Amino acid sequence: MNENLRKLRGLMAERGIDVYLIPTADFHLSEYVDGYFKCRRFLTGFTGSAGTALVTAKQACLWTDGRYFVQAAKELEGSGFDLMKMGEEGVPELEAYLADVMPEGGVLGFDGRVVSSRMGQKLKEMMEEKKASVSYGLDLVGEIWADRPALSAEPVWILGEEYTGKPASEKIAELRRKMKELKATVHILTSMDDIVWLLNIRGNDVPCNPVVLSYAVVTMDELYLFINEKTLSGEVRAYLTGIGVTVKPYNDIYEFVKTYRGESVLLELAKTNFALVSNLDAGNRIIDKTNPTTLVKAVKNPTEVENMRRAHRKDGVAMTKFIYWMKKNIGKIPMTEISVSDYLEELRRQQDGNLGLSFDTISAYGPNAAMCHYSATPESNAVIEPRGLYLVDSGGQYYEGTTDITRTIAMGPITDEEREHFTLVAMSMLRLGHVKFLYGSSGMTLDYVAREPFWSRGLNFNHGTGHGVGYLLNVHEGPVGFRWKAVPERTEWAAFEEGMVCSDEPGVYIEGSHGVRTENLLVCRKAEKNEYGQFMEFEYLTYVPIDLDALDVSLMEKRDVEYLNEYHRQVYEKISPYLEEEERAWLKEATREIHVGM
């Protein structure tokens, strides 16, 4: 029996709550959350980064997406929670399930600070249809969590213009021009990556994401930053004052917004929590638009793009050294998923300007790699043997930018099926990286280029093909990405602009057997312009060899071989100058030219 679940149900009964909702979010609706906000994990035992729990007096359920089906099924065993596989046939959506189990006149409880305003309003309307109500001021999990970690309060620091390419004063002026265009008098900004990007500051309040727990309110004359003042040094305070920022205590935002009357308030309901929006006076006009900073932030300026090339060169050196080390030492020294992951992190930290990881490393051997977002634990930590496939999905934060790369490595003999899947994944990644398209195309236009090698064989992978990436920010950043169908909770709607950075990461996952994923980051740039319009293309940022030992060249078309050879020539050219002699000789062989019919 899950003792915490029992305690929660006891509190629900005391407070008159029929159904209680526990999402995965902080007060800023971030994708990844610090320890203080891991209520869903505390209650369910599920460690994945995405999922929503719903508890009634008789049943407890957890909804998560295809990345986590295998992992969640294992971790929920004995927890008292049933797994709801989102998007699968016969599985009710959370809203439909809620409507079914909520009794007439009942009460839905949740912490309105960790539920988006858009979702909160939808839930409120659903409850009204059931003659039920919502109670959004309840952090019931927090009440039973005796050893809950404290809110993070890491020091804030300034990111210089040699990295940002643009002063904060200019970004703020551009934002105000956009507010004027939208006829907004007040802009409430709660997404932390937007705030730190706007002000050219960084912090460490979310693991792997260099952001700062903060809210911002912008008017035509004032800019208020709500933040834990203990995180600000004298230098940072002076800097913020110099760009027109007034600092206020972090939690004061909820009372502060009550003071606005008759204003036109610009905010993004999907990114602003329900409690905050509920505190706005009804006399204000809400302008629900994507935060103007979102699109501008996604288009990296020339300084940022050049810096990201440097960051990926450093990261490529660390990754190449890692693959060389694994190939050389497999079967000679003990290796586990955790030990090799630790070694890769050590190699990254040796690179100048490295600030740590950009997300928790996915280090997965054999069947564990079939779980897209697997995280090795002492209990699951597999020994890596001189056979089969090992997958590592990892990234670093550097002053020069954020990296994200996946490589799958043959540790020795592999099966024909593993070899086929590895080859299809490599073909897919390279084809998408070489696509040319007319300006105006989004990731939904282009995704088929990556999936065709799989779909033509009756295969698929249950995740997006790519996501936008921030600049020394969140490794997952809107508003671009590659996916074949619209997903309501994703915001990857934008057409590709020059300077946008996106991942390219197809995969194949065979439960109980193996998983393969190969990932490069791409930056969009202009190609030729002619009578048909402006054509666009991608440039690789990632340069790390693709394992030729796992390849079946007979499956590849001539263009696939040319793409791989071209890529490997660039890998050797960019990475070899930074390697030791033995490593360089290995890389020469690892990037050798291959030929159709090999």
Report the pLDDT value the prediction gives residue 489, as an integer from 0 to 100: 66
Mean pLDDT of the chain: 96
> Mean pLDDT, to the nearest integer, of 497-510?
98
Identity of residue 384 = I
Cα dihedral 29→31→36→42 (10° resolution): 110
Q: List CB contacts of 137: < 8 A, sequence separation 6 or more.
A: 111, 112, 275
* pLDDT tens-digit map of 161-197: 999 999 999 999 999 999 999 999 999 999 999 999 9
Looking at the chain, the whole-number percentage of residues with pLDDT higher than 70 is: 99
pLDDT reported for residue 597: 67
Other CB atoms within a 10 A radius of the CB of residue 107 amount to: 19
List all residues 6 or more positions away from 75 whose beta carbon is below 8 Å from its beta carbon.
44, 45, 46, 47, 48
- 110: confidence class by pLDDT, cuts 50, 70, 90: very high
Q: What is the pLDDT of residues 519-571, one digit of tens each?
A: 999 999 999 999 999 999 999 999 999 999 999 999 999 999 999 999 999 99
- HSE-CB at 358 with a 13 A cutoff on CA atoms is 28
pLDDT of residue 419: 98
Task: Answer whether residue 120 shows pLDDT above 70.
Answer: yes
Summarize pLDDT for 259-318 with one digit per residue, the tens: 999 999 999 999 999 999 999 999 999 999 999 999 999 999 999 999 999 999 999 999
Residue 492: which pLDDT band, with cuts at 50, 70 and 90?
Answer: confident
The pLDDT value recorded for residue 242 is: 98
pLDDT tens digits, one per residue of 463-474: 999 999 999 999
Residue 383 pLDDT: 98
d(CA 390, CA 409) in angstroms, rounded, equals 5
Coil vs helix vs strand at 362: strand
Give the three-state DSSP class for 432: helix
Number of other residues whose CB lies within 10 A of the CB of residue 402: 28
Q: What is the rounded distance in angstroms from the CA atom of residue 98 to the CA atom of residue 137?
A: 19
pTM of the model: 0.93
DSSP code for 465: S
Q: Which residue is it, tokens 């039973």?
A: 144
Tell me the pLDDT band of 598, cut-offs 50, 70 and 90.
low
User: Is the preceding omega at residue 386 within 30 degrees of 0, hence cis?
Assistant: no
Q: Note the pLDDT of residue 437.
A: 98
Which pLDDT value is given to residue 70? 82
What element of type H or E holds 590?
Answer: helix 581-590
Expressed in percent and rounded to 5, the helix, strand and coil fractions of the chain are: 40, 25, 35
Give all domains of the chain, ordered by start, each with its CATH number.
3-144 (3.40.350.10), 157-290 (3.40.350.10), 299-590 (3.90.230.10)
Please give the Cα distance from 516 to 426 (Å, whole number).
Answer: 9
Provide the pLDDT confidence category of residue 1 given band limits of 50, 70 and 90: low
The secondary structure of residue 165, as a DSSP letter, is S
What's the pLDDT at 591? Answer: 98
End-to-end CA distance of the chain: 58
- Please tell me the predicted confidence (pLDDT) of residue 350: 98
The confidence band for 410, taking pLDDT boundaries of 50, 70 and 90, is: very high
Burial category of 390 from C-beta neighbours within 10 Å (exposed 0-12, middle 13-18, buried 19 and up): buried
Tens-digit pLDDT profile for residues 123-176: 999 999 989 999 999 999 999 999 999 999 999 999 999 999 999 999 999 999
Whether 4 and 146 have beta carbons less than 8 Å apart is answered as no
10 Å CB burial of residue 157 (0-12, 13-18, 19+) is middle
Q: Which residues pair with 364 in a beta bridge?
A: 391
Q: Does residue 28 register a pLDDT over 90?
A: yes
Instruction: Quote the pLDDT of residue 63.
Output: 96
Q: What local confidence, expressed as pLDDT, does residue 596 receive?
A: 83
Percent of the chain with pLDDT over 90: 93
pLDDT at 53 over 90: yes
Cα separation, 42 vs 57, in Å, equals 19
pLDDT value, residue 374: 87
Q: Lowest-confidence range among 2-6, 29-33, 277-281?
A: 29-33
Backbone torsions φ then ψ of 501, nearest 5 degrees: -115, 135
Residues 207-232 have a mean pLDDT of: 97
